[in-house]
Amino acid sequence: MPEIEVEGLYKRFKVAKRSAGLGQAVKSLFHREYRIIEALNNVSFSIESGEIVGYIGPNGAGKSTTIKIMSGILVPDEGKCCIMGRIPWKERVAHVKNIGVVFGQRSQLWWDVPVIDSFELLRDIYAIPQKEYLENLDLLVSTLELQNIINIPVRQLSLGQRMRCELAASLLHGPKILFLDEPTIGLDAVSKIAVRQFIKRINREKNITVILTTHDMNDIEALASRILLIGKGRILYDGDLDYIRNCFSTHKTITVNFRGNKPQVDTCVAGISGVNVISCSEERILLDVDTRTARVTDVITILSANLDVIDISIDSQPIDELIVKLYREYDI
C-alpha cells in the first residue's frame, strides 16, 4: 500500500480576463469575461514511504495545485487522493498533523521574535508532548546547526539561516511526509549544500518521504532519484533521472590542458565531424563533442597523440540544458 496514492485528479480555475487600455477598462466596468484554466488534467501517481521525489515542470504547469491538494488545502474537482489512509481535504486536521510543508518564498515563523519562541508556539499548536518536542528540537538543532541562531529574531537572520530554521520548524511535530516548495531559492552555495545534506539525512535516518518542487535542477540531481514531470496539467514523465540523462544527453564537453603548439590543435580536430572547438588558448582547449556522431575516446586518442597533455576532464551536459530539451520535447 503506497503511502501516497493520487488518481485521476482534475482541477479547473476560472480567471477573469483583463485587457489593456482605457476603453477596455471602462467596458470591464459593465461586463466581465472569464476563461477556464485546466490546472490538472487526469493526474495520477503513487509514492512509497521513504522516497524522495522531484516534482518538476515549467511555471503554471500545475505543481503547486497538486501540492495544495495533497496537503489538504484545495479540493479537486474530480479524482482520488489517499495519503496514509486519509483523504487530505476531508480530514484536514488529522491529515495535517502528519505532514510538514516548507514554502520557500513565505515564512511560517513569527518575524520579530526569536526563533525559539516560534518553535514553542508551534509545539503548542501541534500539541506535541514536551518530551517528544525536546527530543526533536535537540536533533534538529544539532543537525541543522541552529545553536547560535535560535535566540535571534527571524528578521535578523540571513536567508540561509532562515531556511534552516524553516526546515526545523516543519519537522518539529515529527511528520512522515515533507513537502518542500523551492527550499533552496535565493540561497548561497554553502547553504544549498547544507539543506540538501539535511534532507538526505532525514530521509535516510527517519524514512521521511520528501516531495520536492524546485526549479534548481542541481537540487534534483543531488536528492531525487525519481522525477515527476508535469506540464500543462498532465503528468508527462514518471521515472528516474538517469533515463532522462541518457535520452537527452547528446553532447559532452572535453577540457584539455596542454603544453605545446596551438595551431596543431586546430588542425588535428578540424577534420573530425561532430567536434566543435568552443575556445582555445595557449594552454587549454574546450571541445564540444556530439556523442551521436563522434566518440569521446577517439577524440581523446587524437589529442593525446598530437599534444603534450597535462590534464583532461570530460563533462556531461548540465542538467538544466537537458531539462530544457525535455520541456521542448513535450512542448511545454
Query: Is position 96 an interface residue for other proteins (rule: CB under 8 A)?
Result: yes
Q: CB-wise, 77 or 329, nearer to other proteins? A: 77
Q: CB-wise, 58 or 153, nearer to other proteins? A: 153
- Using an 8 Å Cβ cutoff, are 133 and 86 in contact? no
Q: Residues binding other proteins: what is the number (CB under 8 A)?
A: 41
Query: Is position 106 an interface residue for other proteins (rule: CB under 8 A)?
Result: yes
Among 1, 35, 124, 147, the residue binding other proteins under the rule CB under 8 A is: 124
Query: Is position 93 an interface residue for other proteins (rule: CB under 8 A)?
Result: yes
29 to each of 23, 32, 33, 114, how far by Cα in Å?
Answer: 10, 8, 11, 48
Query: Is position 10 an interface residue for other proteins (rule: CB under 8 A)?
Result: no
Query: Is position 72 an interface residue for other proteins (rule: CB under 8 A)?
Result: yes
Torsion of CA 80, 86, 88, 92, to 10 degrees: 150
Residue span binding other proteins (CB under 8 A) among the ranges 47-55, 70-78, 134-142, 185-193? 70-78
The closest of 18, 183, 159, 180 to 100, measured between CA atoms, is 180
- Sites for other proteins among residues 147-166 (CB under 8 A): 153
Q: CB-wise, 73 or 280, nearer to other proteins? A: 73
Query: Is position 188 an interface residue for other proteins (rule: CB under 8 A)?
Result: no
- Using an 8 Å Cβ cutoff, are 84 and 47 in contact? no
Q: Which residue has the cell 515564512?
A: 107
The helix/strand/coil state of 158 is coil
Query: Is position 99 an interface residue for other proteins (rule: CB under 8 A)?
Result: yes
CA distance 142 to 139: 5
* Nearest-approach distance from CB 73 to other proteins, in angstroms: 5
Q: CB-wise, 39 or 299, nearer to other proteins? A: 39
Query: Is position 117 an interface residue for other proteins (rule: CB under 8 A)?
Result: yes
Please return the burial class of 98, using the count of CB atoms within 10 Å of its CB with bins 0-12, 13-18 and 19+: middle
CA distance 230 to 213: 11
Compute the half-sphere exposure of residue 127: CA atoms within 13 Å on the CB side of its CA: 5
Residues written for the chain: 332
Site string for other proteins, 20-59 (x = CB under 8 A): -xx--xx-xx---------x--------------------
Q: CB-wise, 158 or 276, nearer to other proteins? A: 158
Apex CA 172: angle with CA 166 and CA 173, to 5°?
130
Residues lying near other proteins in the complex (CB under 8 A): 11, 13-14, 18, 21-22, 25-26, 28-29, 39, 65, 68, 71-75, 89, 92-94, 96-97, 99, 101, 103, 106, 108, 110-113, 117-118, 121, 124-127, 153
